[in-house]
Amino acid sequence: MHTPHATSEVVDIEKNDHDEKIVPVTTVTEDGVQTGQVKGLHKTLRNRHMQMIAIGGSIGAGLFVGSGGALRTGGPGSLLFGFMITGFMLLCTMQALGELAVLYPVNGAFFTYTCRFVDESWGFATGWQYAFGWLIVLPFELVAASITIEFWRTDIHMAVWVTVFLVFLIVIQFFGVRGYGEVECFLSVIKILACCGFIIFAIIVNCGGVPTDDRGYIGARYWHDPGAFRNGFKGFCSVFVVSAFAFGGTEMVGLAAAEAAEPHKSLPRATRQVFWRIAFFYIVSLFLLGLILPSNNPGLLGSSGANTKASPFVLAIREAGVTGLPSVFNAVITISVISVANSCAYGSTRTMQALAGRGMAPRFLEYIDNKGRPLYCVIIQLAFGCLAYVGEAKGASGKVFGWLLALTGLSFLFVWGSICLAHIRFRSAWKASGHTVEQLPYRAAMGVIGSYIGLSINILALVASFYVSLFPVGGKPDAEGFFSSYLAGPVALAFYVGWKIKDGMQTGRWKLYLSTSEIDVHAGLREGTLEGKYHDGVDQRQPFWKRAVRSLF
């Protein structure tokens, strides 16, 4: 087995707040292998932070607003099944990420795993796609949060609200990762309560229990008229693409592993929460939404961006004739958008810092101050936030944001597919090194089979996205329309080819991927793992289906 040679920058083994040793705290080897925790990051995220990041981290405008466009295009049947398929794919992906993150709680998480277990060039492409994604989404979310205020006030300039929200994010940065965790914890509780409240409300509406709603018992009426499926296969593909983007941010819990106080305890619990969030908050709420709101509702024509007046949840409440509650739900949407903006600042800064640690970004981005903040990365992220003021340019702002978002539209699919692929390659190298799955502190519920399934669905999602970008619903093939939807694909390919050429010219290695013998599974391994110090409590002698179910509870 290939054993990397460590650089001279090696730090003694450290202990975290709970006296748990991490092996060893180094930077990067000569062969580009990150061998442990990055010195300087504070491990202050507690179990409750990790749980709430996992449960409410990705609940945002994608669910509360973007699902309306999916309902209009594909109908309630396509909406439900599209989100179910994507949710199952994400469940497989998060199980794989949980296994890797507990074993290797390193900065950069999935980017680092891709570099270590798949290929440096693809890791470079994935890492920068992900970092750019969050950098560019931040100004968009600031504008979106400002637009939600227009639900109540239209007399205050949008730039004022952009400034207010940007200052709010700057204040959070003063408190480092603990500030991010506390804010996400608080906002996630509000989002979860809102989802639970809507589910109860939708059941009552469907049963005809709202006095102001003259529709009476609704049942599955709208699945018959106007119908469960709209626009055929194209409609389903469109929903498939929207659902993939709506789940964006779920992987953030893996990124936070490097700053978790007890990742071997909090990460397995957080990973298991993903199943319940997908099943309850997404699937149940969208199923009920499709029951009480017809897919041909005129208000759904504007369901995009942060147009909360066209939010299917707000429209469903209005359809029932309930007053006051739409304003409450609009406030929830505002909070959700701010939560996504907070995640933007975290996701991009940690990824850029990890890229710099591997020599794939300017070295100054590697700097971490004494409060555990990648300071220069934070400054760059907040500077990108100032692009939100472009929203003041009448007419041009839509095109500017459209092309910016096109650069990152597929970044989540690339990341999720890469996580599954990294897990497959890791399991192969783990076995080749003479180890068994019983030695893993946490095992993916469906094992390596789940990663193959997750990777396959990711590829299908990319194909579906390509199809609807080339042949849009209700339109003809158009070059500008295609690249505004699929620009991230060519950009990712350019990143990959560019780094492959650079690396090949420097090292003379032109292999497409790392062979099993080149993968070092011991670098950065949590001490005590091979001795069975940590165990997820699942009896590996049980049948596969029992082990899978046990891993979800």
DSSP characters over 196-217: HHHHHHHHHHHTT--TT-TT--
Q: pLDDT digits over 431-450, tens only?
A: 988 888 888 888 888 889 99
pLDDT digits (tens, 9 = 90+) for 368-427: 887 777 888 888 988 888 888 876 666 555 566 666 666 776 788 888 999 999 999 999
Q: Which domain holds residue 270?
A: 46-550
What pLDDT score does 5 carry?
38
The CA-atom distances, in angstroms, between 408 and each of 64, 486, 493 are 21, 9, 13
Within a domain: residue 18? no
pLDDT at 265: 66
In-domain check, residue 377: yes
pLDDT at 30: 37
Q: Are 181 and 53 in contact (CB under 8 A)?
A: yes
d(CA 284, CA 195): 10
pLDDT in tens, 410-426: 788 888 999 999 999 99
| Residue in the block written with tokens 């204040």 | 171
Within 8 A by CB and 6+ apart from 346, the residues are: 177, 180, 252, 255, 256
Q: What is the pLDDT of residues 248-294, one digit of tens each?
A: 777 777 666 666 666 666 667 767 767 777 777 788 999 999 999 99
In a domain, 520, yes or no: yes
Number of domains composing the chain: 1
Determine the Cα–Cα distance for residues 166 and 383; give it in Å rounded to an integer.
10
Question: Is 34 part of a structural domain of the chain?
Answer: no
Give a yes or no: residue 15 inside a domain: no
Is 137 among the domain residues?
A: yes
Q: Is 195 a residue whose pLDDT tops 90?
A: no
**Structure confidence by residue, pLDDT tens digits, 297-319:** 888 865 555 555 568 888 899 88
| Strand partners of residue 14 | 22
Residue 36 domain-assigned? no
Among residues 392, 447, 440, the alpha carbon closest in space to that of 423 is found at: 447
Both structure tokens of 334: 């505002």
pLDDT digits (tens, 9 = 90+) for 517-536: 888 888 777 665 565 555 55
Indicate the pLDDT class of residue 33, thresholds 50, 70 and 90. Answer: very low
Q: Using DSSP, state whether 517 is helix, strand or coil.
A: helix
pLDDT score at 202: 92
Reference 80, options 269, 242, 234, 248; nearest CA is 242
Domain of residue 445, CATH code: 1.20.1740.10
User: Is the Cβ–Cβ distance between 181 and 46 less than 8 Å?
Assistant: yes
Beta-carbon contacts of 474 under 8 Å, excluding residues fewer than 6 positions away, are 231
Q: How crowded is residue 174: how many other Cβ atoms within 10 Å of its Cβ?
A: 9
Peptide linkage before 226 cis (omega within 30 of 0): yes
Residue 176 pLDDT: 72
Place of tokens 């700053």: 259
Query: Phi/psi of residue 26, each to 5°?
Result: -120, 180
Per-residue HEC secondary structure of 407-443 comes to CCCCHHHHHHHHHHHHHHHHHHHHHHCCCCHHHCCCC
The one-letter code for the residue type at 256 is A
Token digits for 406? 């096109």
295 lies in some domain: yes
Residue whose structure tokens are 């579906």: 464
Partners of 34 in the beta sheet? 28
- Rg for the chain, CA atoms, rounded: 23
Show the tokens assigned to 21.
Answer: 């040793």
Distances (CA, A) of 332 to 65, 169, 198, 308, 441: 11, 18, 11, 10, 38
The phi and psi torsions of 542 (rounded to 5 degrees) equal: -70, 160
